[in-house]
Amino acid sequence: MSAMFEFKVDSNAITPKFRQVADAIAEGINRGHFKIHTALPSIKQACNGTEFSAVTVSRAYLHLKKQGYIAIGPGNRYFVQNNKLHKKRVLLLLYKLSQQENDFYNGFVNALTEQVLIDIQLYRPDLHFFDELITDSWAKYDHYLLMLPFLTGTEKENMLSVLRKVPQEKLFVLDKVMPDFPLRHLSLNGNHQHNIFASLNSLKFKVCKYKGIVFAASNGYAHSEDISVGISHFTGEYRMGYKTVCSLENFDVSPGWLYLADEDAYVLEIFKSANALGIEIGTDIGLIGLNDCPAKELLGITSFFCDYAEMGKQAGLMLLLNGYSQKSIPYQIIIRKSL
């Protein structure tokens, strides 16, 4: 008989045999007989020298997996990952540190109970590094929360290939919609294409006084393509002009246009260019920045931004409830004198 499975089942009990086995293993986990992150016997090993059938053990393991006690690891082995007294461990994976990530973290922590331990790991979108990070840590954490960088082509597919190794019930993807990612996962995102349209539409009486919109789009901004599509839909619906510029080198602003910039540096360049030409912001041109900061408040720049604190709160609540869905966080709008 397996040393780990020294218990008997009652064939005459109302409780099914697989539940008796599962309950006995769960009790052993809670009492510390089966340690966190250790492997359970394979189904074949568990049946050797016992009265348990392979079907009974298999159903018991599946039941414990559903309850969150165990998880499937490399080689399709079952590992102990939790107990009633065990605090959930969460790995928050960030590719940069900024005010947005800080807001998310504060919202996330405030939504959680003391029964959750959070580790933060900065990573780079390097396949070997990321694969090693996920592989080495998979048995240590109950959930992974991941903010993805802007990736395309091979880099994107390499990143997704690593994420497919993570048990789907553990994965929370933040600020991204991944329709080409087949596994069930939580996706919290800003839905930037819809949100930029909705934000402009809510201010259409201010926006439509301009002859068109110029989108100053930086190459490194993760959501520029989605935002551009949303602006294009808005300008098309209201028969306005639309231009996209990717560099402000030797660029001068022109009266009559609304400028929308995705990076703070672009906002400041447009602001300085307008002042140098004697163009009044808020009258001759409009100016909107994505994401808010003290400088925009000081200069009176209108801002659209995703509420990362709310995103963190929703991620925390979904984690506690073991909910898996896709949820969009709407933009917040601060109207200032630049519009």
Mark whether 213 and 153 lie in a shared domain: no
Question: How would residue 2 be classed by pLDDT, with cut points 50, 70 and 90?
Answer: very low
Mark whether 198 and 294 lie in a shared domain: yes
- Dump pLDDT digits (tens) for 280-303: 999 999 999 988 888 899 999 999
Tell me, yes or no, whether 337 lies in a domain. Answer: no
Mark whether 164 and 227 lie in a shared domain: no
Question: How would residue 199 be classed by pLDDT, with cut points 50, 70 and 90?
Answer: very high
Mark whether 136 and 236 lie in a shared domain: no
Q: What is the CATH number of the domain that holds 315?
A: 3.40.50.2300
pLDDT, position 183: 47
Distance CA 23, CA 326 (A): 33
Mark whether 199 and 298 lie in a shared domain: yes
Which of 71-80, 84-93, 166-175, 218-227 has maximum average pLDDT? 71-80
Mark whether 73 and 114 lie in a shared domain: no
Q: Find tokens 């989108």 and name the residue.
A: 215
Tell me, yes or no, whether 338 lies in a domain. Answer: no
Mark whether 298 and 316 lie in a shared domain: no
Mark whether 205 and 291 lie in a shared domain: yes
pLDDT, position 213: 96
**Mean pLDDT taken over the chain:** 81
Distance CA 75, CA 17 (A): 26
Query: For 2-11, 54-63, 253-262, which range has the lowest pLDDT when averaged over its residues?
Result: 2-11
User: CB neighbours (10 Å) of residue 139?
Assistant: 16
Task: Single out the residue in 80, 106, 131 at which a domain terminates.
Answer: 80
Total domains in the fold of the chain = 3
Q: What is the CATH number of the domain that holds 19?
A: 1.10.10.10
Decide: 309 and 256 in contact? Cβ < 8 Å: no
Question: How would residue 184 be classed by pLDDT, with cut points 50, 70 and 90?
Answer: very low
- Dump pLDDT digits (tens) for 28-62: 877 777 777 788 888 888 887 677 788 988 888 88
pLDDT above 70: residue 249: yes
Which residue segment(s) compose the domain that 313 sits in? Answer: 88-189+308-329
pLDDT above 50: residue 120: yes
Mark whether 66 and 99 lie in a shared domain: no
